[in-house]
A and B are shown apart, each in its own frame.
Chain A
């Protein structure tokens, strides 16, 4: 009987969980904020109850038998076996139940995959270990990294994750979308396979290198929705969250305007003090380098070279600039970094992480060694 109790407790907890969906912990699938996510939730509940019903029936019979048909109670064993009627019944009934499940499941599946007649398209590119978003209808294009507080906390021994707001579920630049608009996503990857999942939208979809997948959403309610990468993508797989902010149309339009203007701004290449360069460089490092080279610049034994005491880092500055811009077979090219970011991060790695060269480089001294006019995303595109 123990098992049935456990099951019924589980079911009760799940029902309570529905009401407390936004409490600290949830027990059941979230209903989400799209029609598809609601349909998936309803289907989930339907199947869950069918399974509970089957479970109660089968386990009930079994436990009745265990309780009554025991030798210690003097029950004599019957010797019946093989009953064709019974066997046909317990083949037909499950088949009918399955057909009953398949019909709504097929409907939802068709709905989930229908990307036609979308109002706008966003390209999502998974990269180790952040997301790159490109709005194909306007020129907005940005990267979305784990925010600095979580980044530092999860890399620091003894840090208290509970003191960090939205630990591991916060990004520096969230994906912003308008509500009640059919948005088509095209997903791909710049390196290994990732998977883009926001539970409130009702689906995840793999981002495969060299191929393009499609998905869509239309969010009913303005709000902030969080998710994570769900395909193992290397050491920092657990540290590339997704944050989607759904806005009312006017707010969204204002955001587009603001973001487009920001993107058109030329980077500030004015001189900075040594300390400013180092401080800004740390932020650049935390976004772009820390995943491989680690927070103390140690690298990973046998796989990723250390920055600490590396002659490449502490040697001449010009070769270092070239190295960062061109990349290697193991390291991606960081041509995406602006001159000021390059100057900052170079000054940082030469004067921190156990290195003390004592010099600095100003943004206007960065000379393009490897000029990359092309949008770097073009590299990831392969004709389908």
Chain B
């Protein structure tokens, strides 16, 4: 398959020239084509979205009514733990890597990713990592149940986590290696393989946000791997990193974890910003309002993400200087984030908007992500966090910044680019139905959780006092509707791949899209190999007129 990428490379001129994909299953196992690997990532992420979603359904079913109806508390804890791990590492992150694989080469005029074989390897390591993690579900002693944050000493306690810990640790290692390889590939591609006429400040924002995200990944995945390795040695090799009796400190783990964990949440949201900044201008039929300020805002959010970690730990017992510093630093993030929201609004202002499904999801993203951002600002204030911390108010906050933000934008990206990738149009009516069901039910699901948290309901509990019953039931009903609605998305994806409405789409798909970025100048469906010669002209309407 090396011939595929090296088609125009003189050194390989004597090799067999392969213009199409290999036949059969082997195509998907050995592929080095960025589009094939992108498809693998996206389908895997979709599958994991349903696996993680099924776990969320178990959680919401148990919380439907007070009392323990369905599951044992330890299994409930396994479900919250695995739901988070599967959604973060199995669904959201791989989905964005899938988008990066498909889109970055097409958007920058490159024939493929810079390191195609490594690309294949990073996908299969991801599968191995997730399978290793999922295998713990079949263990007699159950999957990890100490929360996705793996806080010691709980995660090391023999009566809590059985044999799952080393599996989870090695799964994290594999996922980390996979992510780092993916990130290296993305950076190498963006730096080296842009069309000659494309300067950095000509790149679409999706490419910019992924470039910055890739640096975040390289910086923090090793930190997470290090933290879980210390857990492993504490458990099996009698070290005492996190054990006070041996001179260690359990809170040290939390500092290390959140040094990874906070940038991690931006790893999931920065590409989201990138896709939103790509979709909104197309349907507003206007250039993005402030391209360069969006790039700077992304960069500064990424920078600040490294220096705010302990706002996850306000109640852990920090010195006053620490509390205040982390409060102020966290509050500052509201400024670049605000710049983003204002920019999207200004992009819509005086546009000529149409509201196809990708745009609907993107608008819902801006609104609902902003709500999650505003509650984030509330909990950035340390004294308030002494009430909010570890309650359902926090659960509501981070689900607002993940579900109607990252997940909605991934849906939007699916609707936006599937016609380009497959050459088929999705069914707009079902798409809109999917949107409205999702947008309404996601609020029924998560909005009442603000009330629950403020009223005093802690997170990660399988059963609750009677005064929390009403809103939990409302939330669960919203959850079930939301979960079922996603089957429509599955249907649409399958239907579109198989022909969709039967309407053959144009190269542009969306009116005027070729003014915005390069992939829309390619035919639909996009050929297996694209940009074997780089494009001569790149769209520059998103930058200053004086450019």
Contacts and interface: CB of A to CB of B under 8 A. Distances in A.
Q: Assign chain B's interface to a size class.
A: 35 or more
B386 A94 contact: no
Contact of B458 (A192, A229, A292, A382): A229
B200 interface: no
Given A95-B335, A211-B251, A234-B160, A55 B286 contact: no
Interface string B283-320: 01111111111000000000000000000000111001
A153 B292 CA distance: 60
Contact of B383 (A61, A105, A191, A303): A105
A168 B456 CA distance: 13
B508 interface: no
Nearest to B363: A66
Interface in A319-338: 329-330
A373 B348 CA distance: 74
A201 to B, nearest CB: 10
B286 to A, nearest CB: 5
Nearest to A294: B72
Contact of B67 (A17, A61, A159, A166): A159
B378 A48 contact: yes
Given A10-B447, A65-B350, A204-B386, A82 B291 contact: yes
A28 B291 CA distance: 39
Given A55-B370, A102-B331, A208-B316, A109 B382 contact: yes
Nearest to B163: A302
A288 to B, nearest CB: 14
Most buried by A among B142, B323, B327, B348: B348
Interface residues on A, range: 35 or more
Given A193-B153, A238-B462, A227 B456 contact: yes
A62 B315 contact: no
B208 interface: no
Interface stretch (B89-97, B101-109, B263-271, B336-344): B336-344
Given A91-B339, A213-B317, A69 B324 contact: no
Contacts of A40: 383-384, 386-387
Interface string A299-323: 0111110000000000000000000
A295 B285 CA distance: 65
A102 B13 CA distance: 65
B350 A301 contact: no
Contacts of B285: 71, 77
A106 B249 CA distance: 28
B381 A47 contact: yes
A197 interface: yes
A206 B317 contact: yes
Contact of A47 (B353, B384, B464): B384
Interface in A82-114: 82-83, 86-87, 90-91, 94-95, 98, 101-102, 105-106, 108-110, 112-113
B371 A55 contact: yes
Given A70-B353, A167-B466, A210 B250 contact: yes
Given A61-B345, A71-B353, A79-B286, A193 B335 contact: no
Contacts of A236: 73
A230 B370 contact: no
Contacts of B77: 232, 234-235, 237
Contacts of B320: 109-110, 113
Interface in B147-166: 147, 151, 153-154, 157-160, 162-163
B79 to A, nearest CB: 13
Nearest to B287: A81
A6 to B, nearest CB: 6
A176 interface: no
Nearest to A52: B374
Contact of A25 (B68, B72, B450, B468): B468
B332 interface: yes
Contact of A51 (B288, B324, B327, B374): B374
Contacts of A25: 451, 455, 467-471
Interface in B465-484: 465-471
Contacts of B383: 36, 39-40, 43, 105, 108-109, 112
Contact of A161 (B157, B288, B371, B466): B466
B352 A75 contact: yes
A350 to B, nearest CB: 23
A269 interface: no
Contacts of A167: 66, 465-466
B451 A27 contact: yes
A193 B251 CA distance: 9
Nearest to A203: B386
Contacts of B378: 44, 47-48, 51
B451 to A, nearest CB: 5
A204 B315 contact: yes
Contacts of A193: 151, 153-154, 250
Given A39-B383, A71-B285, A168-B464, A232 B159 contact: no
Interface string A145-169: 0000000011101011110001111
Contacts of A98: 331-332, 334-335
A89 to B, nearest CB: 9
Nearest to A47: B378
B331 A205 contact: no
B317 A202 contact: no
B346 interface: yes
Interface string B374-393: 11011001111011011100
B461 interface: yes
* Among A36, A66, A153, residue most surrounded by chain B Cβ atoms (within 10 Å): A66
Nearest to B72: A235
A279 interface: no
B467 A209 contact: no
Interface string A44-71: 1001100100110011011001100111
Given A77-B284, A168-B464, A235 B346 contact: no
A311 B128 CA distance: 42
A24 interface: yes
Contacts of B430: none
Given A86-B346, A94-B335, A209-B244, A230 B317 contact: no
B367 to A, nearest CB: 5
Residue with the highest number of chain B CB atoms closer than 10 Å, among A36, A70, A86, A109: A109
B290 A87 contact: yes
Contact of B286 (A77, A206, A208): A77
Given A162-B466, A192-B153, A91 B147 contact: no
A378 to B, nearest CB: 14
A208 B349 contact: no
Given A62-B363, A77-B351, 15 more contacts: A3-B367, A24-B467, A25-B471, A40-B387, A65-B350, A66-B348, A71-B354, A77-B284, A90-B338, A109-B382, A199-B456, A228-B458, A235-B74, A238-B458, A303-B160
Closest 4 CB pairs of A and B: A210-B244, A238-B461, A213-B317, A302-B141
17 contacts: A26-B451, A43-B381, A47-B384, A48-B378, A70-B355, A98-B334, A105-B382, A166-B465, A203-B386, A208-B316, A210-B250, A228-B458, A238-B463, A301-B141, A302-B140, A302-B141, A303-B159
Interface of B: 66-68, 72-74, 77, 139-142, 145-147, 151, 153-154, 157-160, 162-163, 243-245, 249-251, 284-293, 315-317, 320, 323-324, 327-328, 331-332, 334-335, 338-339, 341-342, 345-355, 363, 366-368, 370-371, 374-375, 377-378, 381-384, 386-387, 389-391, 443, 447, 450-451, 454-456, 458-471, 542, 544
Interface of A: 3, 6-7, 10, 13, 17, 24-30, 36, 39-40, 43-44, 47-48, 51, 54-55, 58-59, 61-62, 65-66, 69-72, 75-83, 86-87, 90-91, 94-95, 98, 101-102, 105-106, 108-110, 112-113, 153-155, 157, 159-162, 166-169, 191-193, 195, 197, 199, 202-206, 208-211, 213-214, 227-239, 292, 300-304, 329-330, 382
